[in-house]
Amino acid sequence: MSSSVCMETPHAHGHTHGHTHNYNPTPGRDFPLQIDSCVNPVLDYSAQMERYRSFATFYKNSAAAAAATPFPQTAKIARIATPLFPSARLSAMPPWPCDNAMLWGRKPTAVNVNGPHTHRTGMSRAEPVNVHMSAKHIPQDSALQMGADNFLSPLAAEQCRGLPVTGAECMNRLKCPPSVPPGGAGEADRGGTFGGMPPLGGLSLPPGVIVMTTLHSGAGSSGVTMSDSAFQIANVAADCQHSGSSCSGSPAALNGNANGSCSSGSSNGSGAAKRKRKRCGICAPCRRLINCGVCSSCRNRKTGHQICKFRKCEELKKKPGSTMERAPSAGAADTFRWFF
């Protein structure tokens, strides 16, 4: 299978491009391209999208030969997902079983991230999918197309569908060690990682996926730790805000004792109108960026009005009065623990 080759050199498919890559191929090494692309993801965005499309097209076409598919999971996923995702029938590749609308276009819920987010305006309520690019850099049509032809779908679907798999674990499996030489990761390890995928630095993933993978990356992962840090910083800011904001009507005060640690209690008969608690923003479910798309909450979103079960904040799962009050610094400590 030449998937690795295709992944590394999509131009080998023979189609022409109207753009030029900022890329001087180094003999025997394609990695500089990835570094280069990573460094300048926004400027080269259209080029990247073109690459994504070529990948998607390639896999889409390859699916025709699904009999000898190198992705045995594809059929399985298709079987499972088809009733829920009719588009899977069309593309022979199941779409990402997550809320792609949310993933690509919709805005995020207000987590406790009230800190100085760089893209506060651009991202606004959009899921903090891509820390590098604001929403305005993501053409909607392209986004939708990627959603339909998402070449990551089979594995992503499988990984995300596994309920015991936390968001972090799920996304970690999408990582491809930067040290893996291009093309060196063949079919062998495709089960656990995207063997055909270039290292993350290559940005050869949909923009959102890049960040999602790095968000949950371990501290040791090299490459794009900046995005990781950026997100964590946002959380730090958020945590600092609602920890240090005392109890004077700031969002912290609204969090009840689960987060804000200043309320007198859940069942505060103190007459204070019951305020909605907010997601802590730091627990694993909170850090998960995409909806599973298959849980009851996702399926019943219209009537259920509930967040994806796997994104439900751990703190909010607890009864408001059942948790020990979290010291304001504890959250920060947790946050910083991710750094090191």
- Residues near DNA (CB under 7 A): 101-102, 106-110, 124-125, 251, 254, 256, 273-279, 296-297, 299-300, 303-308, 311-313, 316, 320
In the bound state with DNA, the residue whose beta carbon lies nearer, of 190 and 311, is 311
In the bound state with DNA, the residue whose beta carbon lies nearer, of 191 and 265, is 265
The nearest distance, CB 55 to DNA, in angstroms, is 28
Q: How far apart are the two ends of the chain, measured CA to CA in Å?
A: 39
In the bound state with DNA, the residue whose beta carbon lies nearer, of 65 and 276, is 276
The nearest distance, CB 262 to DNA, in angstroms, is 14
The nearest distance, CB 311 to DNA, in angstroms, is 7
In the bound state with DNA, the residue whose beta carbon lies nearer, of 190 and 312, is 312
The nearest distance, CB 266 to DNA, in angstroms, is 7
The nearest distance, CB 43 to DNA, in angstroms, is 26
In the bound state with DNA, the residue whose beta carbon lies nearer, of 13 and 106, is 106
The nearest distance, CB 310 to DNA, in angstroms, is 12
In the bound state with DNA, the residue whose beta carbon lies nearer, of 111 and 200, is 111
Tell me the CA distances in angstroms from 252 to 247, 249, 255, 323, one per residue in order: 6, 7, 5, 16
In the bound state with DNA, the residue whose beta carbon lies nearer, of 133 and 203, is 133
The nearest distance, CB 111 to DNA, in angstroms, is 8
Task: Tell me how far apart the alpha carbons of residues 239 and 297 are, in angstroms, rounded to a whole number.
Answer: 27
Task: Tell me how far apart the alpha carbons of residues 269 and 129 are, in angstroms, rounded to a whole number.
Answer: 39
3-state secondary structure the chain: CCHHHHHHCHHHHCCCCCCCCCCCCECCECHHHHHHHHHCCCCCHHHHHHHHHHHHHHHHHHHHHHHHCCCHHHHHHHHHHCCCCCHHHHHCCCCCCCCHHHHHHCCCCCCCCCCCCCCHHHHCCCCCCCCCCCHHHCCHHHHHHHHHCCCCHHHHHHHHHCCCCCHHHHHHCCCCCCCCCCCCCCCCCCCCCCCCCCCHHHCCCCHHHHHHHHHCCCCCCCCCHHHHHHHHHHHHHHHHHHHHCCCCCCHHHHCHHHHCCCCCCCCCCCCCCCCCCCCCCCCHHHHCCCCCCCCHHHHCHHHHCCCCHHHCCHHHHCCCCCCCCCCHHHHHHHHHHHHC
The nearest distance, CB 173 to DNA, in angstroms, is 23
In the bound state with DNA, the residue whose beta carbon lies nearer, of 21 and 106, is 106
